Chain A
Amino acid sequence: MDHNQEEKIKRTLDFIEKDRNIPDDPWFYSRLIARMENQEEKKRAMGFIGTIAQRLRPVLALAVIVVGITGGIYLGRALSPPVSSQESAISVFITSEDASAVLFREISGSMDEQILLMR
Chain B
Amino acid sequence: MTDRELVQGIIDRDQAAFKELVEKYQQLVIRTCYALVQELEDSRDLAQEVFIEVMKSASSFRGTAKLSSWIYRIAVNKSLNHLKKSRRRGTVTLFSFRERGREEKEAEELVNSVSTGGDSIMEEKELRRALHIAISKLPDNQKIAFTLHKYEELPYQEVAEVMHVSLSSVESLIHRAKLNLQKRLSYYYESNLK
A and B are interacting partners = yes
Q: Is the CB of A15 within 8 A of B52?
A: no
B113 interfacial contact with A, CB 8 Å: yes
In angstroms, Cα B55 to Cα A32, docked, is 11
Q: Is the CB of A22 within 8 A of B27?
A: yes
Closest residue of chain B to A8 (Cβ to Cβ) is B189
Interface centre among A8, A24, A32 (most CB of B within 10 A): A32
B19 interfacial contact with A, CB 8 Å: yes
Residues in A neighbouring B105, C-beta threshold 8 A: none
Residues in A neighbouring B100, C-beta threshold 8 A: none
Residues in A neighbouring B19, C-beta threshold 8 A: 29
A25 interfacial contact with B, CB 8 Å: yes
Number of interface residues of B (CB under 8 A): 36
In angstroms, Cα B26 to Cα A22, docked, is 11
In angstroms, Cα B22 to Cα A39, docked, is 18
Interface string of A1-34 (1 = CB under 8 A from B): 1000100110111011011111111001101100
Contacts A18-B114, A20-B31, A31-B48; is A13 near B128 (CB within 8 Å)? no
Residues in A neighbouring B44, C-beta threshold 8 A: 25, 28
Q: Is the CB of B52 within 8 A of A12?
A: no
Contacts A32-B51, A35-B52; is A1 near B186 (CB within 8 Å)? yes
- Distance (whole angstroms) from the CB of B25 to the closest CB of chain A: 11
Interface string of A44-81 (1 = CB under 8 A from B): 00000000000000000000000000000000000000
Q: Is the CB of B52 within 8 A of A39?
A: yes
Residues in A neighbouring B47, C-beta threshold 8 A: 28
Contacts A8-B127, A12-B131, A32-B22; is A23 near B109 (CB within 8 Å)? yes
Q: Is the CB of B110 within 8 A of A19?
A: yes
Closest residue of chain A to B188 (Cβ to Cβ) is A12
- Distance (whole angstroms) from the CB of B104 to the closest CB of chain A: 15
Q: Is the CB of A18 within 8 A of B22?
A: no
Tell me the interface secondary structure of chain A in the complex. Answer: helix
Closest residue of chain A to B135 (Cβ to Cβ) is A16
Q: Is the CB of A20 within 8 A of B189?
A: no
A36 interfacial contact with B, CB 8 Å: yes
Closest residue of chain B to A23 (Cβ to Cβ) is B113
Closest 8 CB pairs of A and B: A18-B114, A23-B113, A12-B127, A32-B48, A12-B131, A9-B185, A16-B150, A15-B128
27 A–B pairs (Cβ distance < 8 Å), ordered by A: A8-B189, A9-B185, A9-B186, A12-B130, A12-B185, A13-B181, A15-B128, A16-B131, A16-B151, A18-B110, A19-B34, A19-B151, A21-B110, A22-B27, A22-B30, A22-B34, A23-B109, A23-B110, A25-B44, A28-B22, A29-B19, A29-B22, A29-B23, A29-B26, A31-B48, A32-B22, A36-B52
- Interface residues of chain B, those whose CB is within 8 Å of chain A, are 19, 22-23, 26-27, 30-31, 34-35, 40, 43-44, 47-48, 51-52, 55, 109-110, 113-115, 124, 127-128, 130-131, 150-151, 181-182, 185-186, 189-190, 193
